[in-house]
Amino acid sequence: MDNLELLSDYSSFLREKKEEGKKIIGFISHDNIPEELFDAAGFIPLRLLFAGNDEFMDASHDYLPPSTCAFAQSCIGLFSLKPNQYEFLDLIDYFIVSNHCVSDICASEIISKRFDIPRLNFYIPYTNNENSIKYFKLELLELKKQLEEINGKEIKDENLKESIKKYNSFKRKLLDFSFLNISGSEKLKILQKAILYGPFFLPELESFFEQRSDNEIQTSFNSKEVLLTGGSIFINDPLIDLVEEGGGNITFFDSWIGNNYYSQIIANDILDSIKNPYDILVHRFKNNNFGDHSVPNFLENKILQLEKIYQDHLKKTGRKLGIINHIIKFCDHISLLSSHLKNRLQEKGIQVLNLERDYSRAIRGQLSTRIEAFLEMI
Amino acid sequence: MKTCGVDIGSLETKMVLLDDKNIMDYRVGRSTFDFKRVGSNMFNELLEKHNLRKSEIYVMSTGYGRNTVSFADDRITEITAHARGVQYFYPEAHSVIDIGGQDSKAIVISEKTRNVIDFQMNDKCAAGTGRFIEVMAGALEVPIQQIGELALNSNNPASISSTCTVFAESEVISLFARGTKKEDIAAGIHKSIARRVAGMAKRIGVAPLLVFCGGVAKNIAVKKFLELELGFEIVTPVINGKSSAQLTGAIGAALIAQEQRSG
Ligand code: SF4
């Protein structure tokens, strides 16, 4: 299925849900937004996980300077370019204003204000201590209140717990899926679709597994193996094609569309032992090792994690992984860490490409040269 | 064994024919907008002159237009090609700075494996590339071939603070209008490009022996200001007393082809 088909099917899916009386909540695709709470309240979460292009970035400049993160520019461009290329965006009823980073706050505020989409606030603490954990719970309860006011009815604890379990098993399945021996582009397409649809995608994911075990296909790739970290490869981004055309294969996605999403699984004993579902979400927040700036000593953790993945892979396959650190232009918190991350990993003999880019077509040739040269280096 | 390295740059196409490790012949010409035609004409000319057939030569393409070379047997990026090519001249090279028409690169070569271990490229902006000097030479109304010499006559380089080519051009025009000497402005322009490229190169730890190549390496003022910024002397490749800084990509591609063919 190509992206156009995916997006048109997704439009029909959302339309159907609207006809069933569901409301749609949009948000910028970042960490720690409790989609389970939306699900329990009967809303459909819509993560903005669409890549930009020149037109989207240009269209955003009525609202933001061009020196803002290219992803945030593109998110605004998605709404401001009329008619909407992604027509399902017109179906959004509410928009979450959150604070994963400064660009996230600005972009989500602009989207809500300029495109007349009522906002719901959900602010996430930038640290992970006793006080911030309490604050996170208060924010969850505040969000619950906002959703209940819209619906005019209470969100029952048992419904929230059911939603948590549903998302949890969905993430478990995605984690299993992530180990399948398929090409990076095929894997990414499914991950993007899965995160877009959420647990509605579970039957398709299961049938994908069945087909694979029926046919017992075990592809072996001659390509150089790559771990992608940093910014996600969003829907409609040709980056993965450039990697594959250059002779590489992304075998591990250490990004939001990838490991950061499906590694946040809550253990069964926690699900059973913690009665209050909000405390379960708090527990997950506390243990989220991928939340960037809400994780103390994030950079050191990241370096250790990447080194571990690299060493495990080397032990298992005898092959080295090259690391591409994908930096979306003007994404400060990824780019500020990048030299240190690269130096530290290179000291350990791991090769890293800091790949900074925006979404313009003009840099495509330059991007492929950098990727190919890196693959030649591995 | 004969191999040919074809380096299609944004401004110029370079071709080198090797017989084992010896340079049999080479060509340099404008790429124009029709890379494909320029490349194949040049190649046919070489075949004809040396009475060779395509099947006798293994062709490796490189450079910005490497994917457009229909007669190439394989391709390689210009990063890998330059790193290999400079070692033809300086086997002990540690680093490379390549400044071409539309981009600039810094490369570090492993002492042990002699392969690339790190590199940096400029982003899509023209600052730090040959295009920057071309635009500034235009603003100063000095032929591009003479702007380097002119810059070396300066005792007091002007300060050009804009890295953006468009802003720097207006800065140059206003300096000129204020009566700043042409040679001081020219020196400021070269200093600005050197500062930018040296900054990029230092980030990956370039060190002597550093080979400066690409079309801009023929400009003596860029070389001098780069040396000042880096704090050490750098070298440029020469064949028979003539600068061959533009040829390292094509030579590298042809050498890699030799090495691949001989297993
Ligand atoms: S890409 Fe970076 S700067 Fe942009 S919204 Fe995401 S985290 Fe923020």
Regarding whether A129 and A9 lie in a shared domain, the answer is yes
Average pLDDT, chain A: 91
Residues B131 and B147 in one domain: yes
Chain B residues with CB under 8 Å of A360 CB are: 124
Are B16 and B99 in the same domain? no
- Using the beta-carbon criterion (under 8 Å), do A366 and B121 form an inter-chain contact? yes
C-alpha–C-alpha distance, residues A157 and A276, integer Å: 7
Q: Which residues contact A281 (CB under 8 A, 6 or more apart)?
A: A34, A36, A37, A140, A164
Testing the interface with A: which of B118, B125, B202 to mutate, by most A Cβ within 10 A?
B118
Residues of B at the A interface, defined by Cβ within 8 angstroms: 64, 76-80, 103, 115-119, 121, 123-124, 203
Same-domain check for residues B80 and B136: no
Alpha-helical (H) ranges within A20-129 are 35-40, 54-60, 70-80, 102-114
Domain shared by A345 and A363, yes or no: yes
Shortest CA distance from A340: residue in chain B: B203
- Total beta-carbon pairs less than 8 A apart between chain A and chain B: 37
Residue B109 to residue B82: CA distance in whole angstroms: 10
pLDDT in tens, A104-137: 899 999 999 999 999 999 999 988 889 999 999 9
The verdict on B81 and B96 lying in the same domain is no
The number of folded domains in chain A is: 2
Give the type of residue at B10: S
Nearest chain B Cα distance for residue A376, angstroms: 7
pLDDT in tens, A11-54: 999 999 999 999 999 999 777 899 999 999 999 999 999 999 99
Judge if A75 and A222 occupy the same domain.
no
Asked if pLDDT for residue A85 goes beyond 90, the answer is no
Same domain, A104 and A247: no
Please check the confidence at residue A297 and state whether its pLDDT lies above 90.
Answer: no
Distance CA B234, CA B227 (A): 6
- Whether residues A171 and A35 share a domain: the answer is no
Least confident of A155-164, B167-176, B217-226: B167-176
* Total domain count, chain B: 2
Claim to verify: residue A147 and residue A186 sit in the same structural domain:
no
| Per-residue model confidence (pLDDT) at position A217 | 47
Which element (helix H / strand E) includes B58? strand B57-62
Average pLDDT of span A159-174: 97
Does one domain contain both B214 and B247? no
* pLDDT of amino acid A345: 95
Residue B141 contacts residue B134 (beta carbons within 8 Å): no
- Give the domain CATH number at A71: 3.40.50.11890
How near does any CA of chain B get to the CA of A162, in Å? 49
Contacts of B209 (CB under 8 A, 6+ apart): B90, B92, B93, B94, B95, B235
Q: How confident is the model over B20-40, as pLDDT tens digits?
A: 989 999 999 988 888 888 899
Which residue has its alpha carbon closest to ligand 1 atom 2? A331
The CATH number covering residue B35 comes to 3.30.420.40
Report the pLDDT value the prediction gives residue A2, as an integer from 0 to 100: 62
Kindly give the number of the ligand 1 atom that is closest to the alpha carbon of A70: 4
Q: Are residues A124 and A212 in the same domain?
A: no
**What pLDDT score does A87 carry?**
87
> Where is A327: in which H helix or E strand?
strand A321-328
Domain that holds residue A10: 3-156
- Which pLDDT belongs to residue A335? 85
Domain boundary among A156, A172, A196: A156
| A306 and A269 assigned to the same domain | yes
The answer to whether residues B15 and B131 belong to one domain is no
**Does pLDDT of A216 surpass 50?**
no
Same domain, A137 and A12: yes
- Quote the pTM value: 0.90
* Rounded distance between C-alpha atoms, residue A144 and residue A129, angstroms: 23
Same domain (yes/no): B230, B255: no
pLDDT at position A220:
53
How close is the nearest chain A Cα to the Cα of B104, in Å?
A: 11
Q: B37-60 pLDDT, tens per residue?
A: 889 999 999 999 999 999 999 999
Give the range of the structural domain holding residue B177, as residue numbers without chain letter: 92-236
pLDDT in tens, B91-138: 999 999 999 888 899 999 999 999 999 999 987 666 778 888 888 888
